[in-house]
DNA sequence: AGCACGCCGACT
DNA sequence: GTCGGCGTGCTC
């Protein structure tokens, strides 16, 4: 680009590009630049050039620096971000800059950390340790390590000794060792030998064959496999086929695997690394340090990393040779970004696959209804894995226990207690699962029914007995437990409701001989606490596990044969129309924890509604039945996925401003298009949050195009509205929660 | 969003 | 006398 005016995208909430004078150097589209902006300097991305500018020339500033030595963002990535920014009605510049790792948004030129691997020279190989002075201990150890391990990384050295790097420099100076600059091999090379591939069952083989028949064109697949049916093995076979094609035409292929935002990433990563020792694999998630994040991102962008495993934030990572997309647990809610650009990673990935004309595989045991709807509409191809890959493993038996008909002992039915005692006697493990929502213990006054509220949120404070504190789970506000009721002065205040803490204590009382561990957000805040706890479970040091969602995923406990589900009834009749979909997915997952090895599992669900359709479908582990019925219900009341929705969210410390803003939006959007229904602004369940008053306005249409049209007009109108800068607002397209 | 400029109240 | 409150307006 040699034209005099450059169009630059910047990380500012103004939905336009900014014109700058070229500094005379040749800039390319997608290149990183440094420009003056107001009183500051900002990093921007070159989006184009022009011979003219709408801004008077005297107001234009000049580009400060063009980062010539860096690779620029490719056209596909730029287009994908452009599409997403339009679809989610978010300023393009902010969307684009958010794709970059934070290091690239800083002014200092991004330096890739130099790293080396160290080897012995020929002289070093024949060097005898006896020639060393007795006091040169570190030197001796480094040499010894080199002679046994062929090469060492910087990381190896630092674990060897704090001064090992110095010793290595001595060895290099003496000509005994040499350093090879090699980013890629640094911490990624695995010394494992090729493992024996596990045999595929017929369904797995069919899935692999089918997908590979269409591996060179855009084909969305739903891989529907129950827990333990071997979805991951199917992914790995596909990756292998894409990275190592028989007709070596694709030698530069890359694969992106998206996973939910939970701590199973390290396990999955290890499994993939072990399977593909010859391919550079990198991960991208929020727990990486900034420098690792940059390094991994650059390795993906350069094409050196062949496999990228990442959470939602890696959706837009540039990958020049991307040949296949895999979305594991595609129904997981963590794929939806809940702030800034509120994109859905699965849907963006779908668009990415379409534009690249490559296959995309959505894997799940309990697909989202949206995906199921697309399967039924023949938009996605359907593949089922109905057998557990370990053939000896059996499905658990699922029973409901009617809590309305029996006497409860502190929340427990006699049946569940009996089942727990049986496992204790048999030295098997049990899991007590509860849905956190609404069943945390609150502080209740026995005289006037006062319940301790949060002053900043419309929620109740949760009792934490061990810390003797009340805490808000939304804003982390804390206070001491009051000695008497602030409303009537009654000193008799007690915790009510079944929190996990109370559950743990109750169980300890009822089953004093049991060794109990509680796993939830409070008990696992310490680093490694979760890992320690899981290890204790594996070592049979725990009889009963008590916990929330965290337990439902990814952990395999061979000796666990009973799952008790405490109380989930509020989700059955929740005002949130997705609550039952989530509950079903959760219970399917937690049921999968029971009896994974050769021991048959049992699941006991305590409920007042044992004949609810959801439990019927669960008993037979029949997702298809459940999904069809649920879809039918959504169709009757015209809910997603039968209509497309968008939610204009707004909040401010002053409620009247929120409403004024939303009323203005309503007036503008209402009756703008006959196919789009606009609802009056209303307050959400959580009307107040962190001291902010909230409200929102729903827009809905059976036509995505019509809805987009109204959203576009409304958002651009709102951007110039005087209240837009006083109210915090966001357009949430395809919202998950209302 | 930042970050300025700008005009009115309680402080060494 | 000034330090600082946050209202308004701009950024190529």
pLDDT tens track for A101-121: 999 998 765 555 566 778 888
The CA-atom distances, in angstroms, between A3 and each of A29, A49, A50, A53, A271 are: 12, 6, 6, 11, 50
Is the CB of A126 within 7 Å of strand B? no
Distance (Å) from CA A435 to C1' C3? 53
Compare A250 and A27 and report the one with higher pLDDT.
Answer: A27
Distance (Å) from CA A729 to C1' B5? 26
Distance (Å) from CA A708 to C1' C12? 29
Please choose, from the candidates A420, A385, A417, the residue with its C-alpha nearest in 3D space to the C-alpha of residue A621.
A385
Given a cut of 70, whether residue A607 has pLDDT beyond it is yes
Closest nucleotide to A728: CA versus each C1' = B1
Is the CB of A55 within 7 Å of strand C? yes
Distance CA(A23)–CA(A26), nearest Å, equals 8
Q: A223, A194 in Cβ contact below 8 A?
A: no
The CA-atom distances, in angstroms, between A715 and each of A334, A510, A652 are: 26, 58, 18
A219: CB partners within 8 A, 6+ apart: A211, A359, A360, A381
pLDDT of residue A696: 97
Given a cut of 90, whether residue A571 has pLDDT beyond it is no
Strands A478-480 and A469-471 turn out to be antiparallel
Is the CB of A719 within 7 Å of strand B? no
pLDDT digits (tens, 9 = 90+) for A641-687: 999 999 999 999 889 999 999 999 999 999 999 999 999 999 998 99
pLDDT of residue A48: 97
Q: A566, A525 in Cβ contact below 8 A?
A: no
Distance (Å) from CA A333 to C1' B12? 56
**Chain A 35-94 residues in 7 Å CB range of strand B:** 38-40
Strands A692-701 and A544-547 turn out to be unpaired
Peptide bond into A597 cis (omega under 30): no
Is the CB of A12 within 7 Å of strand B? yes
Is the CB of A57 within 7 Å of strand C? no
Strands A381-385 and A493-496 turn out to be unpaired
Distance CA(A395)–CA(A388), nearest Å, equals 8
Is the CB of A725 within 7 Å of strand C? yes
Distance (Å) from CA A36 to C1' B12? 40
| A645 DSSP β-pair partners | A700
Strands A397-402 and A281-284 turn out to be unpaired
DSSP A331-367: T-GGGB--SSS--BHHHHHHHHHHHHT--EEEEESS-
pLDDT digits (tens, 9 = 90+) for A339-398: 999 999 999 999 999 999 999 999 999 999 999 999 999 999 999 998 876 555 577 899
Q: A145, A152 in Cβ contact below 8 A?
A: yes
Q: What is the mean pLDDT of chain A?
A: 89
Is the CB of A725 within 7 Å of strand B? yes
Closest nucleotide to A13: CA versus each C1' = B1
Helix (H) or strand (E) holding A257: strand A254-258
Given a cut of 50, whether residue A186 has pLDDT beyond it is no
Of the CA atoms within 13 Å of residue A735, those in its CB half-sphere come to 18
Compute the C-alpha angle A573/A576/A577, nearest 5°. 85
A710: CB partners within 8 A, 6+ apart: A669, A672, A673, A676, A678, A699, A701
Distance CA(A7)–CA(A24), nearest Å, equals 14
Mean pLDDT throughout A589-610? 85
**Cα A660 to chain centroid, rounded:** 35
Backbone angles phi, psi at A111, to 5 degrees: -105, 130
- Among protein residues, the one whose C-alpha sits closest to the C1' atom of B3 is A39
DSSP A571-595: HHT-SSTTHHHHHHHHHHHHHTTSS
Distance (Å) from CA A653 to C1' B11? 29
Is the CB of A512 within 7 Å of strand C? no
A75-87 and A345-356 are packed helices; what angle lies between their axes, rounded to 10 degrees? 140
Distance CA(A44)–CA(A42), nearest Å, equals 6
The CA-atom distances, in angstroms, between A734 and each of A115, A338, A639, A642, A699 are: 44, 11, 12, 12, 10
Taking the C-alpha atoms of A134, A137, A140 and A144 in order, what is their torsion angle to the nearest 10 degrees?
A: 130
Task: Look at the alpha carbons of A50, A52, A53, A57 in this order and tell me if their dihedral is positive or negative.
Answer: positive
Helix (H) or strand (E) holding A247: none
Of the ranges A69-78, A166-175, A400-409, which one carries the lowest mean pLDDT score?
Answer: A166-175
Please choose, from the candidates A347, A338, A343, A342, the residue with its C-alpha nearest in 3D space to the C-alpha of residue A374.
A347
Please choose, from the candidates A401, A331, A317, the residue with its C-alpha nearest in 3D space to the C-alpha of residue A74.
A317
Distance (Å) from CA A379 to C1' B11? 71
Distance (Å) from CA A514 to C1' B2? 57
Compare A324 and A505 and report the one with higher pLDDT.
Answer: A324
Closest nucleotide to A59: CA versus each C1' = C12
Chain C bases under 7 Å from protein CB?
Answer: 8-12
Distance CA(A394)–CA(A594), nearest Å, equals 9
Which SS3 state, helix, strand or coil, does residue A294 take? helix
In chain A, % of residues over pLDDT 70: 93
Distance (Å) from CA A40 to C1' C1? 34
pLDDT-derived band of residue A152, with 50, 70 and 90 as boundaries?
A: confident
Is the CB of A38 within 7 Å of strand C? yes
Closest nucleotide to A725: CA versus each C1' = B1
Closest nucleotide to A62: CA versus each C1' = C12
Q: How many CB atoms lie within 10 A of CB A550?
A: 17
Is the CB of A64 within 7 Å of strand C? no
Distance CA(A182)–CA(A492), nearest Å, equals 68
**Chain A 438-477 residues in 7 Å CB range of strand B:** none
Which SS3 state, helix, strand or coil, does residue A605 take? strand
Distance (Å) from CA A96 to C1' C12? 18
Is the CB of A60 within 7 Å of strand C? yes
Q: A228, A393 in Cβ contact below 8 A?
A: yes
pLDDT-derived band of residue A458, with 50, 70 and 90 as boundaries?
A: confident
Closest nucleotide to A11: CA versus each C1' = B1
Distance CA(A33)–CA(A30), nearest Å, equals 9
Closest nucleotide to A12: CA versus each C1' = B1
Distance CA(A656)–CA(A693), nearest Å, equals 9
Distance CA(A82)–CA(A15), nearest Å, equals 11
Q: A534, A576 in Cβ contact below 8 A?
A: no
pLDDT of residue A209: 98
Closest nucleotide to A37: CA versus each C1' = C11
Closest nucleotide to A53: CA versus each C1' = C12
pLDDT of residue A255: 98
Chain B bases under 7 Å from protein CB?
Answer: 1-4
């Amino acid at each position: 680009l040699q034209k005099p005016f450059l169009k630059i995208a910047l990380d500012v909430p103004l939905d336009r590009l900014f014109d700058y004078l070229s500094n005379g150097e040749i800039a390319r589209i997608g290149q990183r630049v440094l420009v003056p902006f107001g009183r500051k300097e900002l990093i921007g991305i070159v989006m184009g050039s022009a011979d003219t500018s709408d801004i008077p020339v005297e107001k234009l500033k000049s580009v400060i620096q063009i980062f010539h030595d860096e690779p620029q963002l490719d056209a596909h990535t730029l287009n994908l971000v452009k599409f997403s920014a339009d679809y989610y009605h978010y300023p393009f510049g902010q969307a684009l800059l958010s794709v970059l790792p934070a290091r690239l948004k800083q002014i200092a030129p991004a330096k890739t950390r130099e790293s080396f691997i160290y080897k012995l020279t020929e002289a070093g190989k024949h060097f005898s340790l006896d020639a060393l002075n007795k006091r040169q201990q570190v030197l001796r150890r480094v040499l010894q390590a080199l002679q046994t391990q062929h090469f060492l990384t910087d990381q190896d050295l630092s674990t060897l000794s704090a001064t090992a790097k110095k010793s290595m420099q001595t060895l290099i100076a003496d000509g005994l060792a040499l350093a090879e600059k090699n980013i890629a091999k640094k911490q990624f090379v695995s010394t494992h030998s090729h493992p024996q591939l596990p045999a595929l069952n017929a369904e797995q083989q069919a899935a692999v064959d089918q997908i590979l028949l269409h591996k060179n064109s855009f084909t969305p697949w739903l891989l529907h496999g129950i827990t333990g049916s071997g979805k991951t093995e199917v992914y790995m076979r596909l990756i292998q086929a894409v990275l190592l094609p028989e007709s070596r035409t694709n030698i530069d292929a890359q694969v992106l695997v998206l996973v939910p935002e939970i701590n199973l990433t390290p396990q999955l990563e290890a499994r993939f690394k072990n399977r593909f020792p010859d391919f550079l694999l990198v991960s991208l998630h929020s727990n990486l340090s900034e420098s690792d994040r940059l390094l991994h991102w650059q390795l993906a962008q350069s094409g050196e990393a062949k496999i990228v495993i990442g959470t939602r934030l890696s959706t837009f990572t540039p990958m020049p040779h991307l040949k296949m997309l895999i979305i594991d647990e595609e129904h997981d809610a963590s794929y939806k970004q809940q702030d800034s650009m509120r994109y859905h990673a699965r849907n963006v990935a779908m668009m990415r696959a379409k534009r690249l004309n490559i296959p995309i595989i959505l894997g799940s045991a309990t697909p989202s209804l949206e995906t199921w709807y697309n399967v039924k509409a023949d938009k996605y191809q359907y593949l089922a894995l109905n057998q557990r890959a370990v053939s000896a493993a059996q499905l658990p038996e699922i029973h409901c226990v009617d809590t309305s008909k029996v006497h409860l002992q502190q929340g427990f039915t006699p049946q569940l207690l009996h089942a727990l005692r049986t496992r204790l006697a048999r030295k098997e493990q049990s899991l007590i699962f509860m849905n956190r929502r609404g069943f945390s213990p609150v502080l209740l006054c026995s005289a006037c029914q006062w319940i301790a509220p949060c002053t900043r949120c419309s929620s109740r404070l949760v009792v934490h007995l061990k810390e003797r504190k009340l805490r808000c789970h939304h804003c982390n506000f804390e206070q001491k437990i009051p000695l008497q009721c602030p409303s009537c002065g009654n000193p008799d205040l007690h915790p009510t409701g079944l929190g996990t803490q109370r559950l743990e204590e109750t169980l300890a009382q009822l089953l004093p001989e049991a060794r109990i561990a509680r796993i939830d957000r409070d008990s696992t805040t310490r680093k490694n606490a979760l890992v320690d706890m899981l290890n204790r479970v594996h070592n049979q040091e725990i009889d009963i596990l008590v916990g929330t969602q965290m337990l439902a995923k990814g952990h395999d406990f061979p000796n666990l044969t009973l799952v008790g589900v405490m109380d989930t009834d509020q989700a059955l009749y929740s005002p949130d129309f997705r609550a039952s979909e989530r509950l079903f997915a959760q219970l399917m997952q937690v049921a999968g924890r029971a009896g994974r090895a050769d021991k048959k599992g049992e699941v006991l669900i305590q409920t007042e509604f044992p004949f609810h359709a959801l439990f019927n479908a669960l008993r037979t582990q029949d997702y298809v039945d459940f999904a069809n019925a649920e879809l039918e219900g959504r169709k009757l009341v015209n809910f997603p996925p039968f209509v497309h929705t968008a939610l204009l969210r707004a909040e401010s410390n002053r409620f009247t401003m929120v409403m004024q803003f939303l009323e203005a939006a309503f007036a503008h959007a209402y009756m703008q298009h006959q196919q789009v229904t606009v609802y009056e602004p209303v307050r959400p369940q959580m009307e107040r949050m962190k001291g902010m008053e909230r409200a929102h306005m729903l827009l809905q249409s059976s036509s995505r195009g019509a809805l987009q049209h109204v959203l576009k007009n409304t958002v651009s109108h709102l951007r110039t509205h005087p209240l837009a800068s006083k109210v915090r607002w966001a357009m949430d397209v395809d919202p998950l929660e209302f």
